[in-house]
Amino acid sequence: MSKTIRIGCASAFWGDTSTAAAQLVNDGRLDYLVFDYLAEITMSIMAGARMKDPAAGYASDFIDVLTPLLPQLAEQKIRVISNAGGINPQACAAALQAACDKAGVALKIAVLLGDDLQPQFKQLGSQGIREMFSGVPLPPMCVSTNAYLGAPGIVEALRLDADIVITGRVVDSAVVSAALVHEFAWSWHDYDKLAQAALAGHIIECGAQCTGGNFTDWREVPDYEHIGFPIVEVSADSQFIVSKPEGSGGLVSPLTVGEQMLYEIGNPQAYLLPDVVCDFSQVKLQQQGKNAVRVHGATGLPPSDQYKVSATYLDGFRCTASCLMAGIDAVDKARRVSEAIINKTSEIFRQRGWAPYSEVNIELLGSEATYGPHGQRFDSREVVIKLAVRHPSKQALIVFSREIAQAATGMAPGLTGIVGGRPTVYPLIRLFSFLIDKSTCALTIDLDGQRHPCALPTLDALDPADLPVPLEPAKPSGRADASVALVKLAVARSGDKGNHSNIGVMAREPEFLPWIAEALTPEVLVDWMRHVLDPIHGRVERWYLPGSDSLNFLLENALGGGGVASLRIDPQGKAFAQQLLEFQIPVPQSIADQVN
């Protein structure tokens, strides 16, 4: 039997469950265990932590989870790769080394350096850098500045016989693709295999989201309490099978894996990564027995000579207050009280000569606020007022926070206490993304107290003419004389990239896709999601993936600034797909009868 490599992912974000790593080590028969911890907002939080404590700035959960497993990792020869290093990977490695020493376990820990561009920030500021989406200039000061590195540095650390590799910012999929490049000695020019490796990493990087978590058909998913975390078993030809530990909860099917494949990507025919440009449009997902799905068909092209960089900067302050309004006409009372609080505090600002609010966001949770004009509840006897505001001055928002409680005795009846007490004022962190030449980053491996420089491979030039031509789905044949909700015909999942959101839609049956595509045009999506799209810069793009009978929609400028800056209750667009699944799709009566 040909060699295969088994890789399990035990973390999707900083704060994921602490039980996944032990589950995978005990029952996964792994070669590699990987962890993904980082998002743009995570980097800014870690940067703030390091400013207060030079030994902080990494995912401390990583140390807590690995420590009890160290003897098993050594005994089973399971190698570990993680971006837990965050903004301070060397401190993370030092903490893990201390845990190894205490446990009496000898493991070689390598650190990949080179993503942190904060020390070079002054030089960057003189290069006329512009934000890659909005075109605005680089702010004069940033909290964090990190390039999204690829897999070569991790591969070099593995070649140096590291048992554990800790990185700062790398693309999420790199922790998987690096292991595969190392084990199979793939060439950096074998772009189809690199695309398959990237897809394997992309599918498992969000942990249980490919094993039944966050799945449209949630009622079909057994045993959330013990949900299995994902394993990819990859062969030398780059085909792989997605599964989970035997006996664990959850569900692995083409639909659960397909939802994750579409998650948080833009153009699926040109998914840009540092090591390869991926085309997922022809990917096939095939059930291979219970809770096992075979994945093949990704192809690749040479990458560009640039890294994407995510910087975060301070842009004033934010404050969010939440309180319950109950009783008769709760929605109308909540709306009146919210407006009164904003009007009153705005008047105080004027009297003191302060600037007005930079932004105000009022959401009445329980009145279907996230649905915009598609909400169906026009009243409720119980809603939560969520007041989120932004202002250049911290002092102004302290005044705001002190004026909330007065509403309980001086405004409409039924207002209960503030959730969590008087709200706290926080700095508002905004994301700034740009591109730099890869040569700007000097990659280095720190292992056993020695520094090992890592040169990037020489790659072919990407010819834009080689990028695939967008595909169009076939037109439906027949007459639409009925309609059904999209959820009857497809599954869907949404996510975020900065201030953009994507909604991936995967047909339950191939014959449903033409009808879905006919109904869900970009123009229709603009109208249906108008309540979240920026009125000036909001737009929608659509792509077709024939291999998986899927559509992917990118909603540009739809998140009110995105996860690090948005004042909305859904700053990452996680509920957008749920809203779209209620859209009525015209279909023939035969299909309506089939799905109802």
Eight-class DSSP state of 417: E
Strand boundaries in 73-169, DSSP class E: 79-82, 109-113, 144-147, 164-167
- The pLDDT value given to residue 412: 95
Per-residue pLDDT tens digits for 344-357: 999 999 999 999 99
Which three-class secondary structure state does DSSP give residue 216?
coil
Q: Which regions of the chain are under pLDDT 70?
A: 1
What is the per-residue pLDDT for 421?
87
Q: Which long-range contacts (CB under 8 A, 24 or more apart) does 267-270 make?
A: 267/541, 267/543, 267/552, 267/554, 268/543, 268/545, 268/552, 269/467, 269/468, 269/470, 269/471, 269/543, 270/467, 270/468
Q: What is the pLDDT of residue 458?
A: 92
**Sign of the CA dihedral running 323, 324, 329, 331:** positive
How far is the C-alpha of 504 from the C-alpha of 486, rounded, in Å?
12
Residue 288 pLDDT:
96
CA–CA gap between residue 523 and residue 525 (Å, rounded): 5
Report how far apart, in Å, the C-alpha atoms of 401 and of each of 85, 406, 591 are.
Answer: 35, 10, 54
pLDDT number for residue 51: 82
Residues 6 or more apart whose CB falls under 8 angstroms from that of 30 comprise 6, 7, 8, 24, 76, 78, 231
Q: What is the pTM of this model?
A: 0.96
For residue 39, what pLDDT is reported? 86
Q: What is the DSSP string of 352-412?
A: TTPPPPSEEEEEEETTTGGGGGG------SEEEEEEEEEES-HHHHHHHHHTSTTHHHHS-
Torsions phi, psi for 26 (to 5 deg): -75, -35
Say what percent of the chain tops pLDDT 70: 100
Residue 389: closest CA among 429, 340, 419, 425: 425
